[in-house]
Amino acid sequence: MAIIRRAPLVAAVAAAALLALTACSQGGASTSAATSTSAATATAPLPSPFNGAPVKVALVRQSGAGDFFEAWGAGATAQAKAANIDLTVTDARNDNAKQASDLEQAIAAKPDAIIVDHGQTDTLQPLITEAIAAKIPVVTYDLALTDATGVITTSQSDASMAQGVLDQLVSDVGDGAKVGYVSATGFAPLDARAKVWNQVVADHKLDVVFSTGEVTESTATDNIPLVDAALKQNPDVQAIFAPYDEITKGAVQAVIQNNMQSKVKVYGIDISNADLQVMTAAGSPWVATSATDPAAVGAGVVRTLALQLAGQLNATSEQFPAVTITQKFLSDNSVTNVAQLRVAEPKLKLDTTLVADWLPAVSG
């Protein structure tokens, strides 16, 4: 096993929190050295409508804190450039009214297509129906719809993500263990993960001693006091499932504050450079996560749209597969950032998913 130089755990979590505050800027994602992408060489010319003037696409986002969203945006932007797409990005940042306004403006601009990334069903469903009625192709990502007629829906495989990491939790702590749950409701991916959680709890007779959590503009920071209070009231808890990386980081910090990292294991979902910094820090309680590569997924969503516009997409929904990543795997493979993780676990690249000879996947 290679020796990894590890940062102190508290410093790693603090650095991750700083990244969470600075990673995403209003109006779109930026590309940094950690999330830069490049396109493979196409072996065929671009088909219609991509072989003329740039195809105009509106990306209407509802992102949150953390470099996961930055990487997703960077992947989408790089793939759009490779496909001759002029991508206009807006980001509501947890403001549902603004996202509705952004989508209204996108529809009024009559782009060639719209991508909607995350958001609230009741806020966006009427507008998405309006866009379809106006014959504007729509692709959604991680958004629950009550009527998906005419829409191409995409998502991470949230059920498999939750199942993979929860299988690891049960393997580590056993049936009947005392566990805590830190999440929120009303968000499509978290609601999907919650269904798996409830089933695993029932199947393995897990003793849920607390449930708490929220999603805010400062999710990691705002969950620290919630988990701190829960830990003080339930010091015998053995494991915590926190199925969103910003929530996971808040749970990790609360465990550290209570000096419980040797007895409480934390299980998350999603991966980013900041997450890896926390997971690989000495003594970290974050022992497993289940994830896709956000840059690869952002690129995959754009390829979904491109194939649809080219008349080469047969499905109405696409799910991007995830892998479960343990702390031990990271240590054994000397992984400390996403670029190294792609090499150690090439399934994350999605470079054979939704591709064509004229539309290769961007690569990190």
Same domain, 138 and 162: no
Confidence of residue 167 (pLDDT cuts 50, 70, 90): very high
Same domain, 315 and 212: no
Same domain, 69 and 184: no
Here the contacts of 92-97 (C-beta below 8 Å, separation 24 or greater) are 92/60, 92/61, 92/62, 92/119, 93/24, 93/26, 93/62, 93/63, 93/64, 93/217, 94/62, 94/64, 94/215, 94/216, 94/217, 96/62, 96/120, 96/123, 97/123
User: Would residue 127 count as lying in a domain?
Assistant: yes
307-323: b or e for each residue (b if 16 or more CB lie within 10 Å)? bbbbeebeeeebbbebb
Kindly state the average pLDDT of the residues 152-172.
Answer: 95
Same domain, 188 and 284: yes
pTM beyond 0.95, yes or no: no
How high is the pLDDT of residue 67? Answer: 78
Same domain, 86 and 73: yes
Domain boundary among 247, 276, 291: 291
Same domain, 122 and 259: no
User: Would residue 2 count as lying in a domain?
Assistant: no
Split into its structural domains, the chain has a count of: 2
Same domain, 136 and 19: yes
- Dihedral sign from CA coordinates of 269, 79, 42, 337: negative
Same domain, 21 and 61: yes
228-249 confidence digits (pLDDT tens): 999 999 999 999 999 999 999 9
Instruction: Round to whole Å and give the CA distance between 145 and 121.
Output: 6
Same domain, 283 and 317: no
Same domain, 14 and 119: yes
| Of residues 258, 204, 199, the one with CA closest to residue 227 | 258
User: Would residue 336 count as lying in a domain?
Assistant: no
180-219: b or e for each residue (b if 16 or more CB lie within 10 Å)? bbbbbeebbbbebbbebbeebbeebebeebbebbebeebb
User: Would residue 339 count as lying in a domain?
Assistant: no
- The residue type at 361: A
User: Would residue 328 count as lying in a domain?
Assistant: no
Same domain, 195 and 61: no
Find out whether the peptide bond into 49 is cis, omega within 30 degrees of 0.
Answer: yes
The CATH number for 357's domain is 3.40.50.2300
Same domain, 197 and 275: yes
Confidence of residue 182 (pLDDT cuts 50, 70, 90): very high
Which range, of 65-74, 187-196, 197-206, 212-221, averages the lowest pLDDT? 65-74
pLDDT at 269 over 50: yes
Instruction: Round to whole Å and give the CA distance between 159 and 192.
Output: 6
What is the pLDDT of the chain when averaged over all its residues? 89
User: Would residue 117 count as lying in a domain?
Assistant: yes
User: Would residue 4 count as lying in a domain?
Assistant: no
Count of CB atoms situated within 10 Å of the CB of 268: 29
Can you give the residue range of the structural domain that contains 310?
9-156+293-321+350-363
Confidence of residue 36 (pLDDT cuts 50, 70, 90): very low
97-117 confidence digits (pLDDT tens): 999 999 999 999 999 999 999
User: Would residue 215 count as lying in a domain?
Assistant: yes
How high is the pLDDT of residue 364? Answer: 55
Q: Are 339 and 178 in contact (CB under 8 A)?
A: no
- The residue type at 227: V
Which range, of 174-178, 215-219, 313-317, averages the lowest pLDDT? 215-219
